[in-house]
Structure 1
Amino acid sequence: MNQPVRTLDVQQFIDAERFSPCQWLILILCFLVVAADGYDTAVIGFIAPSLVKDWGVDRSALGPVMSAALVGLGVGALIAGPVADRLGRKAMLVLSVVCFGAWSLVAAHAQTIGELTALRFLTGLGLGAAMPNAVTLMSEYAPARLRGVAVNAMFCGFSCGVVAGGVASAWLIPHAGWQSVLTVGGIAPIVLAVPLALLLPESVQFLAVRPGKQAQIARILKRIAPQAQLNDLRFVGAQTQESTQGQYALAIILSGHYLRRTLMLWIAYFMGLLIYYLLASWMPMLFKDAGFSDKFAALMTSLFPLGGVLGNLCAGWLMDRFNANRTIVGTYLLAGVLVLIVGRFVGSPMLLGALIFVSGMAITAAVVSMSAYAASLYPTEGRATGVAWMLGVGRVGGVASAFVGAALVGLGWSFGEVFGLLAVPAVAAAFALYTIGNCRSEYTDAERAAGATAQSH
């Protein structure tokens, strides 16, 4: 008589094992992808003064160039999510890294503002596709007890990439011109694509819902736990509702069961990026308008992303040990309080610097933590799409920040008034996320088993 085939839930297997060298490799590779993303996203700001000088154009003419990559980021994220849920996270990640690297190389040879704008948009498509797939892959390989800190640690690569862009620009531009900065931003991702293709495993959760992938899953799980006995097992992913089976990924995240959380995530991420990009882009000018020197403005502004590195790790640690939803809601509320306070201490440089640093911790942590949280709210078949569309729609907030900042500065708003206004979107983001966490009836036991552990506390 044939013995019944035993099944093994791959996510439960990952949750039960220690964080292995294989998972450290995934974290490092995804960190490098996000670092390359940060470099290529921010690089246009570093080369802008040289463009003005070399091409003899007004600073206002660089507006389309500065925003082109952000628009591409949004479009790339919207397209890449559904494709990744069909073709796989690894395949889409490798293709996107090659894409933004190649277009950055081509952009180094641009001769006009129009050419550079178009090429930056194409670079943004690859950048937008890379981020959600790195988030999804890392979240699916991180044990539930470490998921928040692992994904947030991966996101620290973005700030490191921005810093690397600034350091590289300071050395390369005087020696080899602004084109060399874009060239480095093209070569590095293409080189990185090689170890990604050779060493990065495909998501076992993605493979578990695809037929004929059992042997491949066993090989990957052996990399995580070499001592595990995996013979005569059938590997399964987290069970999802029957209503989602066979649906396109976008249809899943917009279905009646998931629509509310999807819309609330979009609102919260939009508001978060509106705050982040408005401060990151306009803070130097606000400091200058307040009477500070260019050097002081640059120093104070650099404290904002620097605080984000520490904030990401702290928020990830709190998400893993307490309720993820309440952690992010509380972080947004803290950000709202801090931006209200910052504007009141313009006359005290030391205290102002400390407040800018702490504000960077709170605002960056709140925005970054939403990626790990969003990944926990969707089934495997729609996870990459759910994360990608949140990132894509949120980029509209980043683009809108340029216009909002320009309008406020044009109206003569002071440093304190601009910071104070940003408390409104911070509270709006907190409320949107609170409505998700406050409706526990939306979550099933199967979803919790799939990784939405944050909702079970």
Structure 2
Amino acid sequence: MDDKPTGVPSTPKYAWTILAIVFFLSIVLPMQWFSCPPLSANIFETYGLEGAARADFGLLMSYVAITALIAAVVAGPLANRLGHRIVLIVAGICLIAGCAIAALSGANFGILLASRIITGIGVGLCAVSASSVIAMWFPGKTRATAMAIWSTWVPVGMLIVFNGAPIVVNAFGIHVLWWIICALAIIATLLVAVFFRAPREDEAEISVQTSSLKSALPFLKSRQLIALGIAWLGFNYVNYCFVTFNVDFFQTGMGMNQSIAALIGSICSAAGIIAPLFGAVSDRINKNRKYLMIVVGCVGLLIAAAVGFQNATLSFWLFIIFQILGNSILVATCRPMAPMIVGRGGATAVTYALAAVTILQYIGQMLVFIPGQVIDAFGYTAQTAWMAVAPVAFVALVASFFIKPKKEEE
């Protein structure tokens, strides 16, 4: 599992500048991506949604996830051919266009949907390229911390827009909000265009030279990477199930009022914000033992799944505590593991590995309709959790043990 011979600086100073630039662009994306949920009433009123309004409203989120998945598929080849700087600039341009189209949509819901499709392209391109850039710039001793910091891009963006959007919209209207996000997107894209650069060979622990997919394929077929992909897919399925149904469960299953349910739900959903803490812990663990952090995260996920959707007080608090721990630990440790596994294959192998991780993330999130159907049939009960959630968490846990390197790699 060695990446490249020693002699590389600990962490290049400019790596932190790159992280700041990429992180700024990254957090503006979920500000636009998640601008609709806190403004559902405003959108219903502005766009005259009636009848199957909630189904129509759901498309605003689904379209982003679907196009992000498609963009993630092509992001690897594009970055390998054009470079990460170009891909990130294109992601920024898509975000700018998505914001501007939404701001100019007036009361036309079809135009608003089109804006979400374009925004989703930016989300998918950035998710792959940003994580690859950070993996290239940061050596193994600080990579988990850096990637964990970047991995907070969605919860940070969500917190900003969930708390700021209602204030802006109540004062100036919904379209002004999208113009503000558009302005931030322009600034973020310009920063990438002016200050971004790829690391020099002497600055990178992993070779920055690109190669063909064929030459990278032997590294991508690694047993460890496949196991990591299964664990990551399972985590995203289980965690997105919690994110999607928590607030409804807290209200209908636990009898909480809407404000308390939303507060606890937001805390669980934004648990990834504490991921840098676990990233720092991972950076202090021997590289051949880092996989144990993923095992621990999957154990937390399985416990949360096993006690989920039960209205007993003890079960409820175990559910909250362990889903927060599982979420934050796995967000902090899974992505950094990919470049560690395939690092000997250089920049191309790392980019394709992280593209695969991103694709699996969106696939896991898209499968959340499965527990939704089980909840419709059985309600919020232990039976629901054990049927639709816990088995997937168990598979993720089993897969996590296979991330351990072979003895000859230790």
Per the normalisation by structure 2, the TM-score is: 0.86
Unaligned runs of 5+ in 1: 1-8, 209-216, 222-234, 444-455
Cα distance between partner residues in 1 of 2:89 and 2:300 = 37
CA distance in 2, matches of 1:236, 1:410: 50
Question: 5+ unaligned residues in a row in structure 2: which ranges?
Answer: none
Instruction: Find 2:99's aligned residue among 87, 101, 104.
Output: 104
Cα distance change, pair 148–112 in 1 and its aligned pair in 2 (3 A) = same
For residues 205 and 354 of structure 2, the distance between their equivalents in structure 1, rounded to whole angstroms, comes to 22
Pick one of 245, 253, 262 that aligns with 1:298.
262
State the partner residue of 2:49.
Answer: 56
Contact 1:311-1:361 within 8 A present in 2 as well: no
Q: Is 1:26–2:18 an aligned residue pair?
A: yes
Matched, 1:47 2:35: no
Offset, 1:281: 1.7
1:339-378 matches, within 5 Å, as 339-344=305-310, 346-347=312-313, 352=316, 355-378=319-342
User: C-alpha separation between the residues in 2 aligned to 1:332 and 1:273?
Assistant: 11
**Structure 2 Cα separation of the partners of residues 347 and 272 of structure 1:** 25
* Distance of 1:194 and 1:393 partners within structure 2: 30
**Cα offset for 1:318?**
2.3
Match of 1:36 among 24, 28, 32: 28
State the Cα distance separating 1:112 from its structure 2 match.
3.3
2:298·2:400 contact (CA, 8 Å) conserved in 1? no
Alpha-carbon contact 2:249-2:309 (below 8 Å) kept: no
Match of 2:291 in 1: 325
The equivalent of 2:302 in structure 1 is: 336
Report how far residue 98 of structure 1 moved: 2.2
C-alpha distance in 2 between matches for 1:352 and 1:261: 34
Partner of 1:269: 232
Aligned to 2:379: 413
Q: 1:113 to 1:252 in 2, by over 3 A?
A: farther
SS in 2 for 1:376: helix
1:381 equivalent to 2:345? Answer: no
Q: Which amino acid aligns with 1:86?
A: R
Equivalent residue of 1:436, what SS?
coil
- Using the TM superposition, name which of 134-143 and 422-431 deviates more: 422-431
Residues 37-436 of structure 1: pairs in structure 2 closer than 5 A: 37-54=29-46, 55-57=48-50, 58-110=53-105, 111-204=107-200, 208=201, 221=203, 238=207, 246-248=211-213, 251-252=214-215, 254-255=217-218, 258=221, 260-290=223-253, 291-322=255-286, 323-344=289-310, 346-347=312-313, 352=316, 355-378=319-342, 379=345, 380-401=347-368, 403-414=369-380, 416-420=382-386, 421-436=388-403
Using the alignment, how far apart are the partners of 2:5 and 2:154 within structure 1?
27
Change (3 A) 1:368 1:69: farther
Cα distance in 1 for partners of 2:173, 2:348 equals 46
Q: Which residue of 2 aligns with 1:230?
A: none
1:357/1:105 CA distance change after superposition, 3 Å: farther
Q: For residues 379-402 of structure 1, what are the alpha-carbon distances to aligned partners after superposition, in whole Å with 9 as ceiling and x for unaligned? A: 22221122012202320111111x
For residue 156 of structure 1, what is the amino acid of its counterpart?
A: T
Instruction: Determine the C-alpha separation between the residues in 2 that align with 1:386 and 1:404.
Output: 27
| Alignment deviations for residues 59-105 of structure 1 (CA, whole Å, 9 cap, x no partner) | 12222222100111111111111111222122212221222222222
Structure 2: how far apart are the matches of 1:328 and 1:146? 17
- Quote the offset at 1:437 in angstroms: 2.1
Rounded Cα–Cα distance in structure 2 between residues aligned with 1:292 and 1:254 = 51
Give the percent of matched residue pairs that are identical in Structure 1 and Structure 2: 16
The SS at the match of 1:437 is: coil
In 1, Cα distance between equivalents of 2:66 and 2:219: 29
Higher-Rg structure is 1
Task: State the AA in 2 paired with 1:301.
Answer: G
Structure 2 CA distance for partners of 1:239 and 1:439, relative to 1, 3 Å: farther
User: What is the root-mean-square deviation in Å for CA atoms of aligned residues?
Assistant: 2.9
Q: Which moved more, 1:189-198 or 1:364-373?
A: 364-373
Tell me which stretches of 4 or more aligned residues in structure 1 moved more than 6 Å: none
Q: Is the 8 A contact 1:268 1:429 kept in 2?
A: yes
How many residue pairs end up in the alignment? 397
